[in-house]
A and B are shown apart, each in its own frame.
Chain A
């Protein structure tokens, strides 16, 4: 199956700093990538849909100025958590679609102190 990588896998940062998470499709081109957030033992919540070359579409309740998404190429999307606060601590997962199936990255665990 297709491979999606995510970097970093784990990050700890101080409150007020910004954190960038990268999502790459390694062996296919993905015109669409998705960013999810997951709290412990809960379901995945879609944050935004990222399309190459255009602005991301954010789900209701997600602050677009807080969670900046850039889809610069067909294999790379980035999520930047700006001015992170402890409540932003979560597991962030990206996925990339090659038409029928979404393939997920391994996730990034963000801890904001």
Chain B
């Protein structure tokens, strides 16, 4: 079963506008972490934002915010005031049990969303 789902293969946004990239997840582990990474055409994976399953507040980092809806198992990324440099592939990822688990903290990635920012 797909653990992380990104249903938007591609998204377009006008410069200076906000955009929401969708991510839903599935886990039975009560303790987990959700991540968003940006991958520009150069290939490097850039960490954007992290949300822990027990965090009460939605995570924010500059122009990035994570709309965490635990009951719906969604962790959408909101980018405000889009810039041309935001054009890239964006990945949502989940980390399940770390210490003591068999997964050693490995990440499971969604399929990715290609964001294109138009001038």
Listed in ascending order, the chain A residues whose CB lies under 8 Å from chain B are 1, 32, 34, 41-44, 46, 49, 51, 57, 91, 93, 95, 97, 99-107, 109
- Assembly CA distance A43 to B109 (angstroms): 7
- Assembly CA distance A101 to B91 (angstroms): 15
Flag whether B45 is at the interface (Cβ < 8 A).
yes
Binary contact track B11-30/A, C-beta < 8 Å → 1, others 0: 00000000000000000000
Q: Is the interface of B mostly helix, strand, loop or mixed?
A: strand
Beyond the given pairs A46-B106, A101-B35, A101-B50, 12 more chain A to chain B contacts, judged by CB atoms under 8 angstroms and listed by A's residue number, are A1-B47, A43-B110, A43-B112, A44-B107, A44-B109, A46-B107, A101-B47, A104-B46, A106-B43, A107-B43, A107-B45, A109-B43
List the A side residues contacting B104 at CB < 8 Å. Answer: 32, 49, 51, 57
Do the beta carbons of A93 and B43 come within 8 Å of each other?
yes
Minimum CB–CB distance from B75 to chain A (whole Å) comes to: 15
Total number of residue pairs linking A and B with CB closer than 8 Å: 57
Count of interface residues, chain B, beta-carbon cutoff 8 Å: 24
List the A side residues contacting B106 at CB < 8 Å. Answer: 34, 46, 49
Residues facing A in B77-108 (CB within 8 A) are 89, 91, 95, 98, 104-108
Do the beta carbons of A103 and B47 come within 8 Å of each other?
yes
Do the beta carbons of B45 and A95 come within 8 Å of each other?
yes
Minimum CB–CB distance from A49 to chain B (whole Å) comes to: 5
List the B side residues contacting A107 at CB < 8 Å. Answer: 43-45
Flag whether B57 is at the interface (Cβ < 8 A).
no
Q: What 10 pairs across the A-B complex have the smallest Cβ distances?
A: A104-B45, A107-B43, A106-B44, A43-B109, A49-B104, A44-B109, A43-B111, A43-B112, A46-B106, A32-B104
